[in-house]
Chains A and B, each alone.
Chain A
């Protein structure tokens, strides 16, 4: 990752449809830097810590599956759910995680995450 975590988070959180952007330790699943959660219910539970830990864990398992299938390191992971998406991109010792609304342009989110991770899209 070329930029500082705070810059990456600030940049990704401004992409339309991104509800939260986080830089997460890939080994420990702990948040390094995060944006505020947009559109979250006022006073509702903050799920970013859970999302960060589970997304990092899931990405590590997806990486193992990808290597097992001799496909190499995954460049982009998108989990599509009922009310949005979780996108993950690996970048050295961290993973970039975004929580994205269903209306978002996922292609734009992917491009910006790949760019932030310093990879070619």
Chain B
């Protein structure tokens, strides 16, 4: 099986220096667990972050060289069309760039491949040419989807923690630079301005329903108290026993 892991131009959330996005290092971990041939693909400038990917499990990274502010999608599509990858892994969002999370979806559309979002685990399926993806849902739930390859999967932060960075491996690994054709740039959809802090709305307590007499019970019988608690849980749709 041939897997490509997409490595974006990402920055460390605190220092702002180029760094490998955590989700992408988790994606490398998932790919390593699956086995087979794994290649990292990065569209953009070559930075220290590209080398970092070699230290957490990759042995080679292809760098599609282009200016940092160019649109990486056409180049990525071209590369993924030229070489047949069974599985393409990406982070669910970038880190420190545009962070729209649209890149994998645009690629999936262009290559006409199914895309599964928010994987917390990936295993080989029981049939050959299939994989089983555990999609992370709210409240610890998982959705297990069996999908036929080739496919694109985005990785959720609940995936296993990334491998520890190994300096020797990051020096040994190979970075190949590939030239890419120039693509016309679309005009920007949005205007830009400096960042401004916008606080979230305050979370306030939900509206407790009922009168004071309904909500306060002084010295009830323990059995009565238990019944009151269970009724309250059931009425508000928390648990029903």
The answer to whether A and B assemble together is: no
